[in-house]
Amino acid sequence: MTVLEFGKQPSPGLPRMIRDMHLAYGTTELKQCGDCVHFQRIRVGNTRCAKCELARQSRSRATDWRAHWRACGKFETGRADTRDVAT
């Protein structure tokens, strides 16, 4: 895990949600969210999305997570099953 320097802007160019995770927990080098056990793949009818189970979630696309984002310090290797959610 890499701890960020105080006052240093974490991960410029990424959305605030993942930057907040980097700020709170640091980053994990050479790992991506899609390979983390906390990365939840969700199927709602014919639509698919992903969320981080350790971050704030809602049904809004605004809290969707991306597999290619750099992993935070809470990264744990693994893959959660895809979860079906009723519409």
Binding footprint of ligand SF4 on the chain (CB under 6 A): 21, 33, 36, 38-39, 52, 54-55, 71-72, 74-75
Closest separation between CB of residue 30 and ligand SF4, Å? 12
**Count of helices and strands (H, E) across the chain:** 1, 5
Q: How far apart are CA 52 and CA 37, in angstroms?
A: 9
Closest separation between CB of residue 74 and ligand SF4, Å? 4
* CB-neighbour burial class of residue 84 (10 A; exposed 0-12, middle 13-18, buried 19+): exposed
Nearer to ligand SF4, 63 or 87 (CB): 63
Closest separation between CB of residue 83 and ligand SF4, Å? 14
Nearer to ligand SF4, 36 or 46 (CB): 36
Angle at 54 between CA 53 and CA 58, to 5 degrees: 55
